[in-house]
Structures are given as structure tokens and as C-alpha cells.
Chain A
Amino acid sequence: MSQEAGYTPLTRAQLSEFRRRLAKYYGAFFVFLIAFTVVLYLFERAGLPHRFIGYAFIFLTLLLYAFIGILNFTRRLEEYYVAGRRVPAIFNGMATGADWMSAASFISMAGTLWLLGYDALAYIMGWTGGYVLLALLFAPYIRKFGQYTIPDFVATRYGERARLARFVAAICAIIVSLAYVTAQVTGVGIIMSRFFGLDYRVGVFVGLAGVLVCSFLGGMKSITWTQVAQYIILIVAYLIPVTFLSAKLTGVPFPQLMYGKALSEIGQLEQAMNLPAYVQPFKQALSNSAAISAFKQIGITPPEPITVKDWVGTPWQFLALTLCLMAGTVGLPHILIRYYTVPSPKEARINVGWSLFFIWLLYVTAPAYAAFSRWEVLQNVVGQPINALPEWTANWIRTGLLKITDANNDGILQFSELSINGDIVVLATPEIAGLPFTIAALVAAGGLAAALSTADGLLLVISTAVAHDIYAKIINPNAPYGRRFLLSRLMILISAVIAALLAIPQFALIVQLVAWAFSLAASTFFPVILLGIFWKRANANGAIAGMIGGLITCFIYMFWNYVDPRFNVLGLSHLSAGIFGMAANFLLTIVVSLATAPSPKYIQDMVDQLRIPVGEMRLPAPGTAPGAAPGVAPAGQD
């Protein structure tokens, strides 16, 4: 029942014809996006109020996503779960880029760099370097395995205890993805309220509608093709403002190269004002201020504020966070399933290259945003008379993202009298660069695209974990396709509503959950999938013990350090808790596997098959698996 009858893969000629057609559609879409922006700009000059320009952008982009969603309506499992496995590498690269880059990457990354300086580069390196591991260690093997979900992989590889392994993996996938999707919905609400003047709660539901139109009808198929469009919108929106700002400040429209000048100017201004150096590494102290604000919100008397400075100046936190984010990247189910959707393992290898290239475009630009706006603030805002600040500051003081207080009443703004919310860095750049409001609206549409595309992918993971893994594979293996679809769509709706309900109160804890999702993914999936491919001796007992032990270890370090940072190892914060969960998972999987009997031969033969990049996998039919498994010999497939 796992392979749908009558669904044949495309031939090579059909695939390249498909690729040409896609290039034509998305090329036309790109031209249309630019033309639409220009037309709105002309309307803006003719006096169209800003509000309408904003609405035009939301309306048009949501309409487009709905259009792609409806166009890709499907009743085929193969299309609903894995987009028919015919997505060409370059387009899947863009879809992965959009899937990957969330509201956090689009809006908050540059702000985090602004606030933390060098230390925030751990995110830049961690969230890109993980793709090297994904390419070398996971992607081609996952594609060769060729099922639908990550619990599918875990359950088949650790087939001696398929049901338990699948259940644990499905629960892990749901925990990781639900934490992540709630943050995306929060991001949608924030963008809607800041840019389009909608109420935050209304924004959440408008955004939700946007997510549902993409994923409800066509599953992975419509999500994929919407995500490609969303990638184009988000990257254009990200690159335009900072390119103009670079041209304005340095005369060269190439921000990625020119922010070096900004960094050296910042250095001189800092020296003149006696400020700590922006590029100085490892300045972060451990504190429980985040825990305190989270506790306050839910009405609990917070613990004492604690700050631990012992480990400031050491690189451990930076190195551990980088590793944790990398391993987490590889363990995130919504990214891993993208590699089921390409036509072959060879295409999957190239695919990861394109994925990272498209992500790289944004990540190599984010530090430029931070550097240019820091230069602007140090040069034209700090040290100025408070009643003669640059024009752009007024709008953002009104939103509360920028706060100034003249503490010493001298009428001049000192650096310490300025408080900045990191999100302003990307959002205010169009204004700092003197660009029209149309570009600011485009940036908002880009942020919306980033949040929606990530939310889509996550909702699909949650719904398939329930409908496919828990219901169809564990509870009722004889469920007809129709009922699986119904349940799958119902689950998308239910998890979207749950995410919205969790996002409405805007708990600080929820934002924290995203950072933790990486630790959780690193502690659960990364070790068992890696060992599953590269170490035949790993068995089901080991993997189940590993996943559960990893999850528990990770949770313990996370919460303990979160409320009391005096509990730490080498000064690592709760953000890098995944390091310990991952180590525990590896250790348990290896020790328990060695202490119990090896996996049966048919599973070891399956691992052999995984390692060959051509041919279809021959999996033992469910039920007949244990014991003799005819036709799974690894040899002679090509």
C-alpha cells in the first residue's frame, strides 16, 4: 500500500520539458512582480495613500498563493505528500530556501546582528553550515529511501520495533514543528499589524488563511510551487532596500562588499564615543532575564535576576551554538522531507547545493543590513540634538520599536539613551535609504512570504505525522486513501488553529521555542538518522533509547539553565542545550545497540541499498518483513 498504483515517474525528456516550462512561468512572475512594484510606485507618486499600497501588496500576494494552491489541487498521495517526486533541483532549492527562511531569518536576523555583533554570526554560520552535513550525510540517502515522512524512515530502518520507533519519531516531529509553526504565526501577526495597520489578532487569522490556501488543497505539491514564488518575493524584497542604502552611503550598489567600509567607520565612531567594539567577539553573559519575562507573563512570581559573567570572552558558547544549530538544521523534518520531492538521489545532491546557494544570498546580506544601520545610527542619530534627529526616526519612535529618553537632560542623544528593537533594522532600511513607501510595502510582503512559506511546510509535517504515521500506519493500516486525505486536511486545519491560539497571547516563551526547536531536532533525529545510514549495527532498541534519552537530556539542561544560569557547563546557555541531548542520543544509541542483538539481515540489506544512488528501493512488504525477505538483495540494481 505504500506505493500508489498507477503513478509513474517522469522520463528524462519530460523532466527537462517540465523544467523549461517552470523557468518560463517563474521568469514571467519575476517580471510581473517588478512591473507591479513600479506601477504601485507611480500610483504612490500620484497620491495613492500608503494604506492602499500596503493592502494591494497583501491582497495580490495572498491571491497569488491561493491561485497556485487551487491550481495544484490533488487527490494523489504521491503528489500530496511528496509533490510527485518531480521537482527539479534548482526549483526545489528555492522552495527549500523559502521553507527554511522564516520570519526570524528575514526580519530578526539582521536585528540580532545589530544587537549582538560578532556573537550573532553563530546563527549565520550554524544555519548555513548545517547544509553541508545535510548534503554529505543525509540528502541522497533520504531520497533513495523514497517514502513520505521522516518517521517512515525511522520506522523502516529500525524495523524490528517499527511501531514504537515510528510513534516516538512522530511525536518528536510534532513537538519540533508545532513549536516552530507557532512562532511563524506570531511573525505573521506582527508584520500585519506593523505594516498594514491591522489588529495583531486579525493579522494572525489573515495570515492563517494565507497558509491554508497554500497547503489545504494540494499538500506538498501546492506548497512547493507556492514556496518558489514566495522565495522570489522574499529575496527581491530583501536585496532591494540594502542595495539602495549601500549606493546612498558608499556610492557602490553592492552591500555585501561595501559594508566593510561601514564596519571600519563604526570602529572609529565607537572609539570616539568610548563604546564597546561592535566586532569584538564573545561578549554575551548568561542571564535568566528571558525566563523572568516569560514567568511574569503567565502570572508567576519570577525568580531572582541572575547574571553569570564567568565565561565572557571564551569561545565555547559560540562554537557550541554553531554546532547545535547545524545539527538541528539537519534534524528538522520539514527540511528533510523536501529531499523526498526531487526525481533522484543524484538530483538530491545538487539540490542541497542550490538550497544553500539561495539561502546564502540572504545570509551573506544580513550583516550588511546590520552594519549600515549601525553606521547610520552612530553617525546621524547618536550625538545629535534630540529635536533635530533624522526624519526616519520619528515614524519608528511612534511604533515603540525605537525608544529615546534624554536621561541627563542635555538635549543631545547619547548611545545609552537609545533603545532599539532589532526588528527595526530591516523594516526601517527603506526609509533610511530614502526609498518610497512602495518598497517598504514590498519588504513587508517579503516578510509575510518568509513566514507563510515556513508555516506551510511545518503544518504539512504535523498533519502527516498524525494522518500518515500515527493513524494510517499504527492505528488503522487498512484505512482507505480517502479517509487519510480527509484526516490529513483536517489535521492541517486543527494544527493551524492550535498554532494561532498559542500565538495570540504572544508569550515570550513561544519565541524561545523556535530557538529551542533546533536543540530538540539535534537531540532527536540527527543522531538516529545519521547512525541509521552510516552504522549498520545501530538497531531499534538503540534508536528508541537514543531519541527518548536525547529529548529528556535536552529538556533538562534547557529548563534548568533557563531559570538558573548558574547551572551551566563551559558557560553554554540553554540555546545550545542540543549539544548535550545530541551527545546523550549518540551514546545511548551506540551503547544500547551494542548491548542488544543486531538488526535482522533484511534491514542491513536495506542499508546497503540506501548507499547506491540508482534504482528503486525494494522494501520488504509490511507484515512479511521479519525473517525471510525475498528480493531485497542489494546487488545488481543498476
Chain B
Amino acid sequence: MNKQLTLDHADAALEFNKNEAKVDWHDETLWFVRTKRDRAVAQIPEWEQLREAASQIKNYGLSNMHDLLIQFEENAIRNGIKIHWAADGDEHNAIILDIIKQAGANRMVKSKSMLTEECHLNQFLTDKRIEVIDSDLGERIVQMRGEPPSHIVLPAIHLTKAEVGETFHEHLGTDKGATDPQYLTEAARQHLRETFLTRKVALTGVNFAIAETGGFVVCTNEGNADMGVHLADVHIAAMGFEKIIPRAEHLSVFLRLLARSATGQPITTFSSHFHRPRPGQEMHIVIVDNGRSRQLGRPDFRNSLKCIRCAACLNTCPVYRRSGGFSYHSAVAGPIGSILAPNLDMKQNADLPFASTLCGSCSNVCPVKIDIHDQLYKWRQVLMKEGYGPGSKTVAMKAMATVLESPRLYRMAGKVGRGVLRFAPITVENGLNPWYTQREMPEPPAESFHDWYVNHKKA
């Protein structure tokens, strides 16, 4: 585990900002993706209607979750797929371990799945002496480094080419100092090819599960999910239950939105449809709750389950771009992660809804119209009311409220405050005042507007 994972967001962000050149690079790289997204969506005049359609389909899904999941299960079983239900991460991990053991295997190849990150599957299997190789290139890179992904679509976006070259040199024996992407990618592909050919068990995520057909769709840009499962005897698909959509025709809406929002591509390079195991193959789907029903039961936050994990909200988030994925100490980083994580653990993630200026860019870029910034605001209210804030903050806020609700106290405090700034600035202009560390204080006027108004207007 990364040492940064123990810091709260502000402290981790402070660490990240110690290397300003790196922050600039991180910011510009992700802004480039956001710009690509803007160009791609501008080519679709009906973009806003598409978002609305997706949002409505997802709303329908959330309101009919039970029926749709039952329908999905029935159809999938009829197609010869084995369905497993997991209440939480532990059950999810145990079920997968069981399937691997049944297959007589001790190693597995895996394509991208944020759900398995959420459940800490890799660590669990490694502890049980099952070797797991991530086959998504970015995920493989961070896996070799012993880090979690820092972004849900671009897992290694926090690394420069030089850092990747260093990692490959260490783990794959590439030339020292090599940074040529072509050369490095080739090395990774050779290494993964050997993995694909020798694994009996392959795991994928699920992007969309279709109730009507009992099938599911996995989207990747590298084709690594297909490589894994086509060569394996056992295909396990890990699925958060909110991935359900009612009918196959709805895919047309989501597939147009997903890749454009994620990377600015018209469509993901591979959208692989799985409906039944091929002859001789076993296919399993593990349907996971892990707090999702709890979130579904919270009217203010249930919308967060509409997420299709495109990462547009991360790319656009000015805070994410300048604090890095690890600062969110959660499998899903960025604005969406900050509204999902408190559901999993309010105490541990109480800082995340505050890692935002509430600028609202996330909500408006979101292809399924999740009211992300409003939920961030609402989480703040819940967390502070339930006592997850630092005690000093509560005291300060209470004092502030007392002053600001009384016109008399407010005017007195204002006068004193301005006086202090004017006549003894050193008391506030010091290193202990976080405003002043890198910014000048505003220059205090002799007279407030109130006083001016009384003196000039009334006269």
C-alpha cells in the first residue's frame, strides 16, 4: 500500500504539490483529455439529449433494481452462465477464490475492474498464494510498482514516461533509461502475451449488464479482456449490481456516451458482448452489493449509482488535476469517488467531500447527469452533523455563527478585524495563517460600506 494512503486529502495534496513541475504536467495531461472530450462531444448536436436519455434509463434502473436483477439472473442462467451474489467485498473475494480453486488453478489474468480494486481482490488472492496479473497496460504498470491505480480510466496517469521506463527496467529487464513508448509497450505486450497463453482463469469487469438478454458488455481499448477470456477455460465477471440496464437497445446510448466522455474517442476500441460460455468454457458472474443497497436507500445520494465510470468528472476536476489520484485514498478517486467513499466508511472518508470547491464542472460533464457537486455539499452536511468533523472546526463554526447572526456583534467584530489588519498586520500575516502562506491579505479600508452608507447616504 502506498504511504500516502494514510494522509487526509489536504495533507496528501500538499505533498503532491511540493513538485510543482509534476503538478503542471499532471494538470496539463488531464486537461488535454478534457479538451479532447469537448471536441468529441461538440460533434454530436444531440449530446445533451443523449445525456438526458442515459440519465432516465439509469433512473429507471435504480427504481426497478430488484426486478431487473432477477430478470438478468434468470436469462443469464438460461444462457448457461453461473450467477453468484456477494453482499460485500469479503464475500466477493471468497467466491472468486473458490472458483479459481475449483478450476485447479493458482494463477489468474485479470482485465480492468474498479470493483475488484474496491474489494482489494489482488491483495486477498496474493495472500492466498494465487498469482494475479493485471493485463490492462496501465494497471500492469502500477501493479509492478505495488501501487493502486490513481485514475479509473488511466490508472498510471500519475507516472511520466521516464518513471514507466524505470519500472519496466526493474521488472521486465528493458534497457535502463528507455522512454520510447513504442519500445516499452512492445516489452509489456510480450510479457502479457505469455500470461494470456498460460492462464486457465480470466477475470473481467462488467460495463453494462442487460436484463433483457442476460448478457454483458466489457469495454477496453487494448483488447486485453478478450485476449484473457478467449484463451481461458474459466471466465469470471465481477459486477457491481448498478451496472444493470433494462434492454439491449439502451446500449446504443451508453456506448456513444462512454468513450467520448472518457477519452474523446467516438467509441471504445473493443466493446465485447458476452452472452454465454463457449463450448467447454465456464462463465461466472459475481454480482456485488458492498454498500450499494445502502446508497440506494439514501435519497440524496442514490444518484451516485448511475455512474458508468467514464472518469470525465476526474479529468475536468481542477482539484483532482492538482492533487493526484492517491490523495483521495479510495479506489475511486475524484469527485465521484468523493461521493461514493463516505457511503463505504464515513469516518475514514469524511475529508473527501471537502476536497472540492463545488465549482460544478463535474456535474455538467457527467454523461449520466449525476448531481455530483450537490451531493458533495449534502455529504458535508451529513458528516458534520453526525460529528465526523474535527472538534476545533465545530467550535470555530459555532463562534462564527454567533457573530454573523447578530448585526451588532458582526459590526463590532468587523471593526476589530479591520483594525487588527491595519494596525497590527503581523498578528495575521504570519506562517500560521494558511491564507497568508502564499497570498497577501486584502488591504483593510478605514470604513466599512455600512459606515460609509450611514455617513453619506443618510446625511
Q: Is A bound to B?
A: no
A contacts, CB < 8 Å to B: none
